[in-house]
Amino acid sequence: MSAAVQSRLHLTVPETQNDAGPRRPGYRRRERIYQWLFLAPAVAYLVLFFGYPVVKNVLMSFQDYSTGTFYTGEAPWVGFANYVTVLSSSLFSTSLINTALFTAGSIAGQFVLGLALAVFFKRKFPLNGMLRSLLLLPWLLPLIVSSAVWRWILDKDSGALNNFLESAGIISTGIPWLTSTSLALAAVVGVNIWIGIPFNVTVLYGGLQDIPDELYEAASLDGATGWKAFRHVTWPMLRPVVSVVLVLGVVYTLKVLDIILGLTNGGPANSTQTIATQSYALSFQDFKFGEGAAMGNILVLISLVFAVLYLRVNRRAVDE
Amino acid sequence: MKSAFTKTKAAAVTVTAIAALPLILSGCGASSPAASGPVSELTVVDYYNNEPDKTVIGDTLVACGTESGVTIKRETVPGKSLIAKVLQQASSKTLPDVLMLDNPDLQQIASSGALAPLSDFKISTDNYPQGILSAGTYKDKVYGLAPTVNTIALFYNKDLLDQAGVTPPKTWDELKAAAAKLTSGGQYGLAFDANATYEGTWQFLPFMWSNGGDEKNIATPETAEALELWTDLVKSGSVSSSALNWTQADVNDQFIAGKAAMMVNGPWQIPVLDKQSALHYGVVNIPVKDSTKTAVGPLGGEVWTVPQTGNKAKQAKAAEIVGCMNSDKNQLAMAKARNTIPSKSTLAAQFAAENPKLASFTELVKTARARTGQLGEDWPAQATKIYTAIQNALTDKANATDALKQAQEG
C-alpha cells in the first residue's frame, strides 16, 4: 500500500484515527471491511433462507392468515388464538404422543442397527466395499419412491411381505400393516428405520475409522477383545460421533413428513398423525395457515430443546 | 466510538437490504398492470400433466389462442402443488392470465379476491346444470366454468358376476348380498377408497347424499346409515380393510387384477381399463338405500377462471379463451378424448349416444352435486371431518353414529 493511498484514507475517514489504535488505522479498517465482505454471502444466505422464513413463520402464527391474505396482504393479528386452537384440539395429544413414539422408535432402531452394521463392516472381508455401497441405496432413492414401494410391500392382501410370510407358513391371513390402528405406527417407524440406517452407518463408520488400531492392539494385550474391546475402546472413542448422530437424527426425525404422508396420510384414524403431518394438513389442506404455522413453531421449539441439550453436552465434554 | 457506530449502521443497512430482497424479487416479476395496447401473449397455468390430458388440453388452448389472435404460454404443474403455486403467485401479483382450478378449490381462491367474476366479460352461463354452476359460483357470482365434468359410479367385472350368478346391485341390500357372494379366497366383492384424504370423502359422498345426508351437519341418522353400510362391508370381509389406505388408482389396480369384483371409481380410469383386453366390465349407478332414493354423485372436474391481473385488455382476451374452452365443439371433443362428460346439458344426450361407455356417467352428472355448493370455502374443514369419521368407524374406534358425532364436534 502506498503512502498516498493511506493518507487519502485518513482524509476521508479521519475519525478512525481516534479509536482504531496507534498503527496503520486505515489498514485495520480495510481489513474489517474485507472481513465483512467475505462474510456477506454467508450472512445473506442465512438471512434469506433461514432468517426470513423463521421470522415469517413466527409472525404468521400470530395472524389470521387465510387464502385471501395472499392476494390482499391483509392478515389481522390474533394474538395467541392460533396456539390456543391448536393446543386445545383433541388431535394434539395424539400427534404429540405419535411424534414422540415415532422419533424414539426410529432413532433407537436406526442407531442400534447402524452401529451394528458399522462395526460389522469395519472388518476386512471380500465384497466389503460393494456391500457397503449397496447399503447406501435407501439414501439414494427419493423418499416418495421409497414410500410408494413400501406401501406396496406392506399391503395386506397383495403385499410382498405378507405373501412371503404366508408362503413360509408363519401366518395364515394377511397382517394389516398399514391399516390397523395398532400396527400402522410401528410399520411406519420400521420404514423410517430402513431409510435412516445409511446415514447412521456412514457417520458411525467414519467415526470408527478414526480410532487408531494401536488402541485395539494394546487392549488385546490386556485381554480385551470382542465385546470387551467394543465396551472399553470403541464406545468411549466413538462417543463424540454418537452424540452428533443422535442429535441430528432426532432433529431430522421430528420433522419427517413425506414418509408418513406417502405411507398412510396420517391414517388409519389418525394413528400415524404427527405434529409435522398435522402442521402440513392445517396449512395446505385446510388452508388454516396461521394454525399450521403455530403447529410448525411448536415443532421448532421441541427441536430447539434437543439442540440446546446437544450444545450443553458438548460444552461439558470440552470443559472436562 | 463513531467508527463502531458506522460499522453497525453499515451492517444494518446490508441486512435490511437483504431482508427486503424477496420483496424486490417478487416485485420484479409483476406485470405492469397499467400497460395496455394489443395483447399478443397469454399465460396459462393448469395441472394436466399426464397424457392424454396434457396434449388434448394443450392443443385446445393453442387453437383457442389462434382464434383470439394470441399465443399461449402454458405451464403445467403437479396437481398437488397447484394451490401453493397460485397462492404464491397471488401474493407476488404474478397470477397467470388464465387459470385452471379443481372445482372444490374455486371458492377458496375466489374468496381471496384473486379471480374476476365471469359476468364482467359476458360469458354465457346458460345450459349448465345447477351442480356445475354452483361449483363455479362464489357469493352469487360465477367465477369458473368447467368444459367437462365427471363423477363416480359402480364398475363391475362382467365375467365374475356372471360366474357367481349375480346381477349388478341397485340397492344397499343387493350390494351387500352381491359383495358377500363375490368374496372368496383372494377375491373381494367390492373395492373403494376410504383413505385419510379428500379422496376418501369424495368416494363416500354418493352414499351419504343419496340417503339424504348433509355435509353441513354429518351427525345425522342418514349419514350414519351410509357409514354403517361401509362399516358392514368391511367388517364382513366383503371389502378389504386395505381400503383404509387405498387411493382410487390402487382400487383400479385391484379391479384390473381381478381381486375386486366391483369398484367405486370414475370415468378417468376408462383408458386404463380398456387396455386390458381380458377384462369385461360394466358401469352402473352407485346403489341407493332403497328404490325410493335416487343416486346423487359428487361433481368432479376442473374449472377455468380469469384471475385479477389488473390488465383489463389481457383479462378480456383471457375471458375469450375461457369462453372458447367451453364452446359446444370443444366440450364435445375434449370430453371424448379425455373420457369425461361435456358439462352443458344440451350436449349430454348427443354425447351419450355417441359414447355408450360413458352413458351412465352422462346421466349421473346431470344431478351431481358440487362439494362446495353448500359450504363454499368451509368445505375443506368439513371434508376433513368426513374422512376422519370414516376412518374412525372403519377401524372400529367408534361406531358410525359416534364417529360422526365426534367428528362434527371437532
Contact criterion met (CB < 8 Å) for B91 and A70: yes
**Are residues B374 and B157 in contact, defined by beta-carbon separation less than 8 angstroms?**
no
Domain ranges of chain B: 4-150+300-365, 153-297+375-409
Residues 256-295, chain A: which have Cβ within 8 Å of B?
264-271, 281, 284-288
Residue B8 has pLDDT above 50, yes or no: no
Distance (Å, rounded) from C-alpha A307 to C-alpha A1? 46
- Closest CA of chain A from B324, distance in Å: 27
Same fold, B4-150+300-365 and B153-297+375-409: yes
How many angstroms separate the CA atoms of A134 and A88, rounded? 46
Report which DSSP code applies to B267. Answer: G
Q: Can you say how many angstroms the Cα of residue A202 is from the centroid of all Cα atoms in its chain?
A: 15
| Angle at the Cα of B9 from the Cα atoms of B5 and B15, rounded to 5 degrees | 145
**Facing residue for B380 by CB, picked from A32, A269, A285:** A285
Q: Does pLDDT of B142 surpass 50?
A: yes
ipTM of the complex as predicted: 0.83
Q: Check B388 against A270: CB less than 8 A apart.
A: yes
Q: Tell me which residues of chain B, numbers 162 to 221, contact chain A at a CB-CB cutoff of 8 Å.
A: 186, 188, 195-198
Q: What is the pLDDT of residue A24?
A: 67
Confidence of residue B82 (pLDDT cuts 50, 70, 90): very high
Subunit contact B87:A67, Cβ cutoff 8 A: yes
Write out chain B residues lying below 8 Å of A68, CB-based: 111-113
CB contact under 8 A, B242 and A270: no
For an interface test with B, the pick among A49, A265, A280 (most B C-beta atoms closer than 10 Å) comes out as A265
Q: Average pLDDT of B337-349?
A: 92
User: B408 with B386: CB under 8 angstroms?
Assistant: no
Q: Which residues of B touch A72 (CB under 8 A)?
A: 112-113
Tell me which residues of chain A, numbers 152 to 181, contact chain B at a CB-CB cutoff of 8 Å.
155-158, 176, 178-181
Contact in structure between B364 and B285 (CB atoms under 8 Å) = yes
CATH says B153-297+375-409 is which class? alpha beta
Query: pTM for this one?
Result: 0.85
pLDDT at B16 over 90: no
Residue of A nearest to B86 (CA): A70
Residues of chain A where predicted confidence (pLDDT) is lower than 70: 1-25, 316-320
Contact criterion met (CB < 8 Å) for B114 and A69? no
**What is the structure's pLDDT at B36?**
52
Q: Which residue has the cell 372445482?
A: B103
Short-list A181, A162, A173, A142, CA closest to A259: A142
- Interface size A-B, in CB pairs within 8 Å, comes to 132
Across B225-231, average pLDDT: 97
Give contacts of A155 with chain B, Cβ < 8 Å.
242, 245
* Nearest residue, CB atoms, B391 vs list A70, A89, A267: A267
Options 3.40.50.300, 3.40.190.10, 3.30.420.40, 3.90.870.10; CATH of B4-150+300-365: 3.40.190.10
CA distance A73 to chain B (A): 7
CB B213 within 8 A of CB B266: no
pLDDT given for residue B305 in this prediction: 97
Q: Kindly tell me the sign of the dihedral angle through the C-alpha atoms of B15, B20, B26, B29.
A: negative
pLDDT value at position A9?
43
The answer for B 298-317 residues in CB contact with A (under 8 A) is 308
Cβ <8 Å between A181 and B242: no
Distance from CA of B93 to the nearest CA of A (A): 8
- Which class for A60: exposed (0-12), middle (13-18), buried (19 or more C-beta within 10 A)? buried
- Per CB-CB distance under 8 Å, the chain A contacts of B2 are 15, 18
Q: Which residues in chain A are closer than 8 Å to B242, comparing Cβ atoms?
A: 155-157, 176, 178-179
Cell readout for B71 is 399465443
The predicted pLDDT at position B199 comes to 95
Distance from CA of A224 to the nearest CA of B (A): 52
Name the residue facing A71 among B90, B242, B377 (closest C-beta): B90
Q: Is B75 helix (H, G, I), strand (E, B) or coil?
A: strand
> How high does pLDDT run on average in chain B?
89
Beta partners for B300? B150
For residue B230, CA distances in Å to A173, B52, B161, B379 come to 22, 34, 21, 22
Q: Which of A40, A68, A267 shows the shortest C-beta gap to B195?
A: A267
Do residues B334 and B340 touch, judged by C-beta distance below 8 A? yes
The answer for residues whose C-beta is within 8 angstroms of residue A279's C-beta and 6 or more apart is A292, A293, A295, A296, A299
Q: Using alpha carbons, list the distances in angstroms from residue A64 to A53, A61, A232.
A: 17, 8, 57
Place of cell 345425522: B220
Q: Is B139 left (phi over 0), alpha (psi -120 to 50) or beta?
A: left
Q: Chain A closest CA to B288's CA: distance in Å?
A: 26
Write out the DSSP string of B302-321.
EEEEEE--S-HHHHHHHHHH
Q: Please, are residues B246 and A263 in contact by the beta-carbon 8 Å criterion?
A: no
pLDDT of B242 reads 94
Burial class of residue B174 (count of CB atoms within 10 Å of its CB; 0-12, 13-18, 19+): middle
B-facing residues of A in 37-76 (CB < 8 A) are 40, 43-44, 47-48, 51-52, 66-73
**B144: number of Cβ within 10 Å:** 28
For residue A45, the distance in angstroms to the closest alpha carbon of chain B comes to 9
Residue A231: C-alpha distances to residues A162, A211, A222, A234, B50 (Å): 38, 14, 14, 6, 57
State the best of A10, A12, A70, A271 to mutate against chain B, taking most chain B CBs within 10 Å.
A70
pLDDT at B410: 78
Asked if pLDDT for residue B12 goes beyond 80, the answer is no
Identity of the residue in B1, B91, B384 whose CB atom sits nearest the CB atom of A19 = B1
Residue B392, chain A, CB below 8 Å: the answer is: yes
Nearest CA in chain B to A45: B18
- Residues of chain A with C-beta less than 8 angstroms from the C-beta of B377: 67, 287
| Min Cα separation B240/chain A (Å) | 8
